[in-house]
Chains A and B, each alone.
Chain A
Amino acid sequence: MNVLMTGVGGQGIILASDMLSEVMMRYGYDVKKSEIHGMAQRGGSVMSHVRFSEQVASPLIPLKGCDILLSFEELETARYVPYLKDDAQVIINRFRLAPPSVISGARQYPDIIPFIQERTQRIHLVDGSSIAEEMGNPRGVNIILLGTLSTLLEPDEALWIDCINTMLKEKIRPMNIEGFKKGRQVQIH
């Protein structure tokens, strides 16, 4: 199973992909995860590849190899269409962050849905960012989206909660568990 997470530096993608990897390791799979840190943190595009199965060789998801794309920002979804399998599931957080050429007025923020529909119709729009705002924790969008993603995967809720408890500091656990549960309630089937 190949899960790709995409978005913009600073959205908490690395932590989300760390958690997914930890859950899948504890569930019993071989897991590999790959991403680029460094320059990309300065507001650039970020992607994280997470792969799990009986045995994983390459840490990279091949083109046309992605089963689930979890995208934290709309435009960043469209950038990775070449990775999607024909019937891939795509979860898109309804959130737009204008890139420099749109900010300066040189280009328009594109409508990305048609690009994704060229490859798959299984597209789920999720209001992760607004849920996070309502909860008074705008930075918690990653855990909400992880909650939504978890409904497409085998491990049950308890294992996820267990991993949140071991990976996060005590002070921020309740807020994150609440966010995770809110994300799990989002209907995407």
Chain B
Amino acid sequence: MKKMLSGNEAIARGAYEAGVSFASAYPGTPSTEVLETIAREYPRVYAEWSPNEKVALEVAAGASYAGVRSIAVMKHVGVNVAADPLMTLPYTLIRGGLVLVSADDPELFSSQNEQDNRHYARFAKIPMLEPATSQEAKDFMVEAIRMSEQFETPVLLRTTTRISHSMGIVELGDVADQRTPSVERHPAEWVMLPANARVRHPLIEDRIRALRDYSNTSALNRVEMADTSLGIISSGVAYQYAREAFPKASFLKLGMPYPLPDELIRDFAAKVDELWIVEELDGFMEEQIRAMGIACHGKDGLPLCGELNPDIVRQAITGEAVHSPVQHALPGRPPSMCPGCPHRGLLWALKKNKCFIAGDIGCYTLGFLPPLDAIDTTLCMGAGINHAHGMSKVFGPGKEKIAAVIGDSTFFHSGITGLANLAYNRGAAVIVILDNRTTAMTGSQNHPGTGITIRGEQTTSLDLEQLVRALGITWVRTIDPYDVKKTRKDINEAVASEGPAVIISKAPCVLLKSRTVSGRRLSVETETCTGCKACIGIGCPAIEFKDEKAYINGMCVGCGVCADLCGPGAIGGAE
């Protein structure tokens, strides 16, 4: 049967066909839909949102040690969080097939960097597969599980945004049985203390050599000989761009770009006049091919930054300029926080109180944009609390107003340790946990605070206030961010406490059904409006400024923040 599937849906289908029993993930664009699809479509596969990627990889490894097939799924930067287990896992014995899916984001459509995770395969000394279509995304997942069991190694399945979020036609395959779990004990292979790990290391080196031989003969790597004046080695979506740009060229299309098939490459290079390595981001394959003593082109013409496309590939190889049409300077349309978003009033209040605001990653990062201009740092998940602590320590208590904001999902992901540090080392920063009861930025996933699992079952819900107190923070207050005047007072008191202080800003995301705002639209009394633009300063898409007056459009959901800060009291309407 044929179906249109996105790359992520195809990976989920592949896991199902391969007999996977266990799937874990922390959400992150462009990887999120893999677990969402498994949870929705394949009930026989156990699925969970883990609180972060390190947990996701370790629980999947636990399932593999119990003998069943498992996958852990994350975005590229998530692999950094999971890097600690990843680097030692290959030393251990893999029982059930174990696949790590890394979804990279060339062009940074929704990420803080565009790192090239193919390096992780080489770093951890594990094989890597890279699909170029939805069909391959499914087939390669099946193959990755098989390879993992044959070579007793974790396998990296690497995709990019253009594979994960593109749809293509997929011919579905047969569904394999799941494996039955059993307890076995393998202390020499599972207890990685120096004496054991020292013995395991040479096995990894032998294994990667064996995998290189496999790569040389595997159907995953395919030679497509045509016109030999131009030969192109490529993989992933870059292969599709090169194919479209040079339909007559010869290709070595790599589905398994690590370890590289050295014999195949030598053979192919000898048959073509000019050799190009076409890959997005780093010259990962090119550097290894050059080290083999093979002359080739690649990053001497192709960019290291951003995604490729057929035009860029054509221009790099032929040298002819691409038509660059005139682009008119149109008003931009960046993403923004939704009308009624509870983050808006809180960020506005911190800013008004003249706080330095160390930020984190989530919808509230959009508070960086004008007119709010309310986020001063964003590095990686969990960093904000630590930035604020480091800064406030440098100044000492009472000197500067240093605050941090962190979303609830991000707090569970990697904020708890930072807060423990703040308490332990007697920091003075004010930490605001933006408790909107969801992981909003990535499309509203549940987390340990929501009381609901990925499949909608009821479970325990972590009590934030209790947790914060247990970490040793004594100044804790839960507030309503829609009451901006009261919020400003609370912030001032928190700053004045001169010790670590935590504000829990509690209001559900407006996209959730449980939201607390009325949903009824407010309006501006034009005669009373003085055109002072105070309401415009919160950057709500529902408030427009026309003919020197404010005007509320149909996007308003009646949160009332603008009414609260309107001096002349011109905004009203909903109760």
Tell which of A45, A81, A105 touches B325, judged by Cβ atoms closer than 8 Å: A81
Kindly list 18 other residue pairs between chains A and B, CB separation below 8 angstroms, not including A18-B167, A36-B165. A18-B4, A21-B4, A31-B169, A34-B162, A36-B110, A38-B110, A39-B109, A57-B241, A58-B237, A59-B166, A59-B168, A60-B310, A64-B325, A81-B327, A101-B331, A103-B545, A107-B331, A110-B328
Max chain B Cβ within 10 angstroms of own Cβ: one of A32, A39, A101: A39
Max chain B Cβ within 10 angstroms of own Cβ: one of A38, A76, A109: A38
B221 contacts the other chain (CB 8 A): no
Contact with B along A87-107 (1 / 0, CB 8 A): 000000000001111111101
A43 contacts the other chain (CB 8 A): yes
A39-B441 in contact (CB<8A): yes
B185 contacts the other chain (CB 8 A): no
Asked if A102 meets B338 with Cβ closer than 8 Å, knowing A39-B441, A60-B162, A62-B309, the reply is no
B195 contacts the other chain (CB 8 A): no
A100-B366 in contact (CB<8A): no
Asked if A42 meets B237 with Cβ closer than 8 Å, knowing A30-B169, A82-B325, the reply is no
Tell which of A59, A63, A115 touches B323, judged by Cβ atoms closer than 8 Å: A63
Tell which of B326, B335, B546 touches A39, judged by Cβ atoms closer than 8 Å: B335
Tell which of B29, B323, B330, B335 touches A42, judged by Cβ atoms closer than 8 Å: B335
Task: Kindly report which residue of chain B lies nearest to residue A17, judged by CB atoms.
Answer: B167
A62-B109 in contact (CB<8A): no
A11–chain B nearest beta-carbon distance, Å: 12
Docked complex Cα distance between A31 and B2 (Å): 12
Asked if A42 meets B166 with Cβ closer than 8 Å, knowing A18-B4, A60-B309, A63-B325, the reply is no
- Nearest 3 interchain pairs by C-beta: A44-B335, A38-B29, A42-B335
Task: Kindly report which residue of chain A lies nearest to residue B107, judged by CB atoms.
Answer: A36
Residues on A lying within 8 angstroms of B by beta carbon are 8-9, 18, 21-22, 25, 30-45, 56-60, 62-64, 75-76, 78-79, 81-82, 98-105, 107, 109-110, 115, 118
Residues on B lying within 8 angstroms of A by beta carbon are 2, 4, 29-30, 109-110, 161-162, 165-169, 237, 240-241, 243-244, 309-311, 322-328, 330-338, 363, 366, 369, 371, 441-443, 536, 539, 541, 543-546, 553
Asked if A31 meets B4 with Cβ closer than 8 Å, knowing A37-B30, A45-B333, A104-B536, the reply is yes
A25–chain B nearest beta-carbon distance, Å: 5
Max chain B Cβ within 10 angstroms of own Cβ: one of A30, A42, A101, A102: A42
Tell which of B237, B323, B326, B333 touches A44, judged by Cβ atoms closer than 8 Å: B333
A163–chain B nearest beta-carbon distance, Å: 10
Which residues does chain A contribute within 8 Å of B442, judged by CB atoms?
38
Task: Kindly report which residue of chain A lies nearest to residue B239, judged by CB atoms.
Answer: A57
Docked complex Cα distance between A62 and B322 (Å): 11
A86–chain B nearest beta-carbon distance, Å: 11
Which residues does chain B contribute within 8 Å of A75, judged by CB atoms?
330-331, 333
B541-A58 in contact (CB<8A): no
For this complex, 18 residue pairs linking A to B, each with C-beta atoms less than 8 Å apart, are A32-B167, A36-B110, A39-B441, A41-B443, A42-B335, A42-B366, A44-B335, A58-B237, A59-B240, A62-B311, A63-B311, A63-B324, A63-B325, A64-B323, A99-B331, A103-B541, A103-B545, A109-B331
A102-B4 in contact (CB<8A): no
A38-B338 in contact (CB<8A): no
Docked complex Cα distance between A57 and B167 (Å): 12
Which residues does chain B contribute within 8 Å of A18, judged by CB atoms?
4, 167
Which residues does chain A contribute within 8 Å of B333, judged by CB atoms?
8, 43-45, 75-76, 99-100
Asked if A37 meets B165 with Cβ closer than 8 Å, knowing A42-B363, A62-B311, A82-B325, the reply is yes
Which residues does chain B contribute within 8 Å of A25, judged by CB atoms?
2, 4, 169
Docked complex Cα distance between A40 and B334 (Å): 8
Asked if A100 meets B310 with Cβ closer than 8 Å, knowing A38-B29, A42-B366, A45-B333, the reply is no
Which residues does chain A contribute within 8 Å of B331, judged by CB atoms?
75, 99-102, 107, 109-110
Docked complex Cα distance between A62 and B240 (Å): 12
Docked complex Cα distance between A82 and B30 (Å): 26
Which residues does chain A contribute within 8 Å of B553, judged by CB atoms?
98
Docked complex Cα distance between A34 and B452 (Å): 32
B334-A100 in contact (CB<8A): yes
Which residues does chain B contribute within 8 Å of A42, judged by CB atoms?
335-338, 363, 366
Which residues does chain B contribute within 8 Å of A36, judged by CB atoms?
109-110, 161, 165
B336–chain A nearest beta-carbon distance, Å: 5
Which residues does chain A contribute within 8 Å of B168, judged by CB atoms?
31-33, 56, 59
Docked complex Cα distance between A38 and B363 (Å): 11
Tell which of B4, B240, B311, B371 touches A104, judged by Cβ atoms closer than 8 Å: B371
Docked complex Cα distance between A58 and B109 (Å): 18
Tell which of A33, A76, A104 touches B166, judged by Cβ atoms closer than 8 Å: A33
Which residues does chain A contribute within 8 Å of B334, judged by CB atoms?
44, 100
Which residues does chain B contribute within 8 Å of A64, judged by CB atoms?
323, 325
Task: Kindly report which residue of chain B lies nearest to residue A114, judged by CB atoms.
Answer: B328
Max chain A Cβ within 10 angstroms of own Cβ: one of B110, B167, B244: B167
Which residues does chain A contribute within 8 Å of B169, judged by CB atoms?
25, 30-31
A100-B336 in contact (CB<8A): yes
Which residues does chain B contribute within 8 Å of A31, judged by CB atoms?
4, 167-169
Asked if A32 meets B166 with Cβ closer than 8 Å, knowing A42-B366, A58-B309, A75-B331, the reply is yes
B73–chain A nearest beta-carbon distance, Å: 15
Docked complex Cα distance between A9 and B4 (Å): 22
Task: Kindly report which residue of chain B lies nearest to residue A21, judged by CB atoms.
Answer: B4
